[in-house]
Amino acid sequence: MTNDELRQILRKFIGDEKPTMLATVKSVDKEKCTCSIEDDGIEYFNVRLRAITGKNTGIVMYPKIGTDVLVVKIESTEEWAVIYATEYESIEIEIDSLVINGGKNGGLVTIGDLKDNLDKLRDFVKDLATNIYTWGSVLDSLAGGVVATNQTAWNVIVNTFQFKDMEDTKIKH
């Protein structure tokens, strides 16, 4: 169904007054939680992305520029609010708790704390490997030359650890 066909169906039910409108996003202002839209060559500004104002909590969905949105008129005013978009650039959620997929995988990792703990573990392993290497000549005679080889392996593992490879920046909390 095309946008024009959908508009015609809506007009049959609601008459000339438009409590809803199917339009195209022209711009998005994330600071104000608004966007501008265009319908039949007319541009509407300050269309709300958060229908109820006053608190900065809840969900704000930022539509991609150029996508279609369905907007509704807010009561008897000339203000509009987006209720659905065909595509979103990003979604921000400001709530106390969020459960995804039943919560079976536990909570998300706090990446800063994980990095700190892994850095401590890496430092411990480096110190351990250094101490083993320092005593390597004594241990080598007892272990048959295995210690020096393991020291090299530890250095490779410890020095190739890259924190940047762990973080997925598309989901933040």
pLDDT band at residue 77 using 50, 70 and 90 as cut-offs = confident
pTM, full prediction: 0.62
Provide the sign of the torsion angle of the four alpha carbons 41, 43, 48, 54, taken in this order: negative
- Helix, strand, coil tally for the chain in percent (to 5): 40, 30, 35
Tell me which DSSP letter residue 130 carries: H
Find, among 115, 150, 124, 121, the residue nearest to 135 by Cα: 150
Q: Which of 51, 61, 57 is nearest to 91 (CA)?
A: 61
| Percent with pLDDT over 90 in the chain | 34
Range among 80-94, 97-111, 133-147 with highest mean pLDDT value = 80-94
Better-scored residue on pLDDT, 1 or 111: 111
Q: Which residue has the tokens 């005679």?
A: 141
